[in-house]
Amino acid sequence: MPTDHSSGRSLVSRRAVLDIVRAATLGSYGVTGFAASPVGRLAAALGIAQPGIRLDLRHGIALDLELTVAFGLPVAEVARQVDSAVRYAVRRSLGREIERLTIHVEGLAQAASLPPRPAHAAGGVSTVELAESGTDVA
């Protein structure tokens, strides 16, 4: 049984890196989508490019993301969440660190699904307020 362990080499396509980054970004709380020009949307529809993501692999992994964020959320916090999620996904999937990650928030958008309004019980007290008060309700 040979004990000589030589390191191997793996090849990851550009498309795979883009898919990892896109999934991590869109899975982050507060991101409503990627910002794209009409030309960028057309390129995406044709499968030529992925709008809102610029990837440079010449000197490590360098990313520029152009996002839209849900209106009413703290933009800096959403950007921090995206940064953390993308770096973790790339590190976990590829075993490599991102050299540079720049996040551009191009605009605010209405979120597709808003959190539900709390239901009100009799007397104008919400069910959430009742639950948090510690009152037993039958």
Q: What is the pLDDT of residue 63?
A: 96
How many helices (DSSP H) and strands (DSSP E) are in the chain?
4, 4
> pTM for the full model?
0.70
Share of the chain above pLDDT 70, in %: 76
pLDDT, tens digit, for every residue of 11-53? 888 999 999 999 999 999 999 999 877 777 777 778 777 789 9
Please enumerate in sequence order all residues whose Cβ is within 8 A of that of 36, keeping only pairs 6 or more positions apart, or say none.
Answer: 44, 51, 52, 66
Alpha carbon distance 81, 70 (integer Å): 13
Check whether 112 has a pLDDT greater than 70: no
The residue with greater pLDDT, 131 or 57, is 57
The residue with greater pLDDT, 9 or 74, is 74
Query: In the block, which residue shows the tokens 């839209």?
Result: 68
CATH classification for the domain delimited by 14-111, as one of 3.40.30.10, 3.30.70.1350, 3.40.630.30, 2.40.50.140: 3.30.70.1350
Q: Which amino acid is at 74?
A: P
Alpha carbon distance 14, 57 (integer Å): 8
Supply 89's token pair: 């996904």
Query: Residue 32's CB: how many other CB atoms inside 10 A?
Result: 19
Check whether 137 has a pLDDT greater than 60: no
Confidence of residue 104 (pLDDT cuts 50, 70, 90): very high
